[in-house]
């Protein structure tokens, strides 16, 4: 960068539901060298970023935490994000979410009060979801933390930072899930493999998962499984370069079966091997999550 060029910042705007793991996400970003500012009024975001860039130690990795505590000031978030991008800064909006059931359990376990006090806990969660709609609509990445522990969430955050730090264009998550437990929040592509033969109905295979070679062999013996993988491979070869061209940094491909233990797990593992080929997603960081495998 020459002296005539303005400094640019990498800004992670962390937001989402109370109890969804924002504290863990911020700690992970701090570990990766981000300077974190909590509950900053949105209209002051640009001034705060400028101050960080002009500081003696020149902080160019900045995390801003915005949530329902900002109240009506959340209305200023879309304008603040656009101002930062107009100034040439890179802005990622990370929205953390979890199911109402999980949020209620977490608040019960920690015995903490919800930031939107004056309501029952359920009413506070409903009100917070409504208040955060304008911010959620800005998200470049939505993470459902319902089935994640602190270490898993921290790793996902750090993997995303690593993918961007070393120049990789996209972080791809392959996610298996069970339809009986609901659709995954934040998935970009959702693919259904319930048309394949189900190992659940085989007494010798029911107790195992798609991580077991016997289940994998059974699922892949169905000719429709190979055809499915081939078509998904072609779809991603077409879509991923287009997403990368548009600057998309995160892609979640969710594959679902009934319970999320057999067919979806097998197909995700096979797809992971396919995507490792550089002809498909050159340089991308590819991760695997099995949301419902332990249920």
Per-residue pLDDT of 45-75, as tens digits, reads 999 999 998 877 778 899 999 887 877 888 8
**Which residues contact residue 63 at a Cβ distance below 8 angstroms, ignoring those fewer than 6 apart?**
11, 12, 13, 14, 26, 29, 30, 34, 35, 36, 37
269: which 2 tokens?
A: 């593992």
Q: Say if CB 11 and CB 85 are below 8 A apart.
A: no
d(CA 62, CA 85): 14
Helix axes 77-86, 45-54, angle to 10 degrees: 40
| pLDDT for res 243 | 84
109: which 2 tokens?
A: 């376990």
| DSSP assigned state of 249 | -
Percent of the chain predicted with pLDDT > 70: 93
Q: Say if CB 28 and CB 158 are below 8 A apart.
A: yes
Q: Which of 16, 9, 7 is nearest to 35 (CA)?
A: 9
CA 229, chain centre distance (Å): 24
| pTM, rounded to two decimals | 0.74
Q: Enumerate the H helices of the chain as residue ranges.
A: 22-31, 45-54, 77-86, 100-110, 121-131, 133-136, 150-165, 213-220, 223-245, 263-275
d(CA 174, CA 254): 6
Question: What digits encode the pLDDT tens for the residues 177-226?
Answer: 999 999 998 899 999 999 999 999 999 999 999 999 999 999 999 999 99
29: which 2 tokens?
A: 């970003």
Q: How many CA within 13 A on the CB side of residue 111?
A: 0
SS3 69: helix
Please name every residue paired with 250 in a beta bridge, in sequence order, or none if there are none. 171
| pLDDT for res 118 | 67
All CATH 3.40.50.300 domain ranges of the chain, comma separated, are 10-165
SS3 120: coil
Average pLDDT along the chain: 88
Is the pLDDT confidence value at 3 over 50? no
- Cα angle value 64/68/73 (rounded, 5°): 75
Is the pLDDT confidence value at 279 over 60? no
Hey, which CATH number is domain 10-165, 3.50.50.60, 3.40.50.2300, 3.40.50.300, 3.40.50.261?
A: 3.40.50.300
């Amino acid at each position: 960068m020459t002296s005539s060029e303005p400094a640019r910042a990498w800004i992670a705007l962390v937001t989402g539901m109370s109890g969804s793991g924002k504290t863990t996400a911020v700690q992970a970003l701090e570990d990766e060298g981000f300077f974190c500012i909590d509950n900053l009024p949105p209209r002051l975001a640009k001034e705060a970023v400028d101050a960080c860039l002009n500081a003696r130690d020149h902080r160019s990795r900045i995390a801003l935490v915005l949530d329902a505590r900002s109240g009506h000031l959340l209305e200023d978030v879309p304008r603040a994000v656009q101002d930062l991008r107009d100034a040439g800064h890179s802005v990622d909006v990370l929205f953390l979410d979890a199911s109402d059931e999980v949020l209620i359990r977490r608040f019960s376990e920690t015995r903490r009060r919800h930031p939107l006090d004056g309501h029952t806990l359920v009413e506070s969660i409903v009100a917070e979801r409504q208040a955060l709609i304008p911010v959620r609509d800005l998200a470049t990445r939505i993470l459902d933390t319902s089935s994640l522990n602190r270490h898993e969430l921290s790793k996902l955050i750090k993997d995303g930072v690593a993918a961007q730090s070393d120049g990789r264009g996209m972080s791809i998550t392959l996610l298996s899930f069970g339809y009986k437990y609901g659709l995954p929040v934040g998935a970009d592509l959702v693919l259904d493999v319930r048309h394949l033969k189900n190992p659940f109905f085989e007494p010798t295979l029911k107790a195992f998962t798609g991580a077991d070679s016997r289940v994998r062999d059974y699922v892949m013996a169905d000719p429709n499984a190979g055809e499915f993988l081939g078509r998904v491979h072609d779809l991603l070869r077409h879509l991923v370069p287009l997403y990368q061209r548009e600057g998309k940094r995160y892609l979640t491909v969710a594959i679902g079966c009934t319970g999320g233990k057999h067919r979806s797990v097998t197909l995700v593992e096979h797809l992971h091997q396919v995507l490792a080929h550089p002809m498909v997603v050159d340089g991308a960081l590819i991760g695997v999550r099995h949301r419902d495998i332990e249920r």
